[in-house]
Amino acid sequence: MNEAILIKQFELGTLKNFIHLICNKETKDLVVIDPAWDIDTIRDWVEENNYRIKAILLTHGHADHIEGYKKLLETHDVPVYISKVEADFYNIEGKNIVTVEADYQYDLGGIPIDFIPTPGHTPGGQCFLAGGHLIAGDTLFIDGCGRCDMVGGDPVKMFNSIHNRLMKLPDSTMIYPGHYYHEKRCDTLANQKKTNPYMLADKLEDFVARRMPSLA
């Protein structure tokens, strides 16, 4: 683990969203991931801890994850990164919006943040990986994963995202989900491989049947 990284996690809103900050303790720069619900709480923490917001990163386009980014832009004129596929699908645009292709890498003052494409919950969803910390949005929950039955969802793509991308990361990777749906607020990939039913479903048809019971 990179000692310069601090992950700050807020649980905000009526849907138990997790909003995350990836902080560079050495440069005092940070990025805000999925700002929503209570922007003042995020701003206050940043100010009290003497950090600078460098960018906003969006895992996906659902309102409960992005509804606060415009309010945050009122005080912090920073770029807002989202995948091109997602921005096109949800018509997300504006002068601060930066659309990126798959596997973009952002530099947070010397700390690389890898953007991992993880379609399945939405067409252009992505996770953010920094120094062994994975901000997973709605792709992974603790002992769960995001729904694939909403518009733009695809359980086959979700299987690939989880089994062929995220589960190939080192077992020590710490997973931070997009919602507080479990008593654990984060967990290692090693633990999740033992208890997450969507990781245990290692055949595509088993995964789809579990995620989309109406199709089984």
Binding site for Fe ion (CB under 5 A): 62, 138
CB 59 within 8 A of CB 116: no
State the nearest-atom distance from the C-beta of 65 to Fe ion, in Å.
6
- Nearest-CB residue for Fe ion: 62
State the nearest-atom distance from the C-beta of 27 to Fe ion, in Å.
31
CB 106 within 8 A of CB 112: yes
State the nearest-atom distance from the C-beta of 77 to Fe ion, in Å.
27
State the nearest-atom distance from the C-beta of 58 to Fe ion, in Å.
11
CB 23 within 8 A of CB 6: yes
User: Between 43 and 147, whose beta carbon lies closer to Fe ion?
Assistant: 147
State the nearest-atom distance from the C-beta of 196 to Fe ion, in Å.
18
Token pair 């002992």 in the structure block, residue: 143
User: Between 138 and 143, whose beta carbon lies closer to Fe ion?
Assistant: 138
**112-143 per-residue burial string, b: 16 or more CB within 10 A, e: under 16:** ebebbbbbbbbbbbbbbbbbebbbbbbbbbbb
H-only helix segments in the chain: 39-48, 63-66, 69-75, 84-90, 155-159, 189-195, 197-200, 204-211
User: Between 54 and 62, whose beta carbon lies closer to Fe ion?
Assistant: 62
User: Between 62 and 157, whose beta carbon lies closer to Fe ion?
Assistant: 62
User: Between 29 and 34, whose beta carbon lies closer to Fe ion?
Assistant: 34
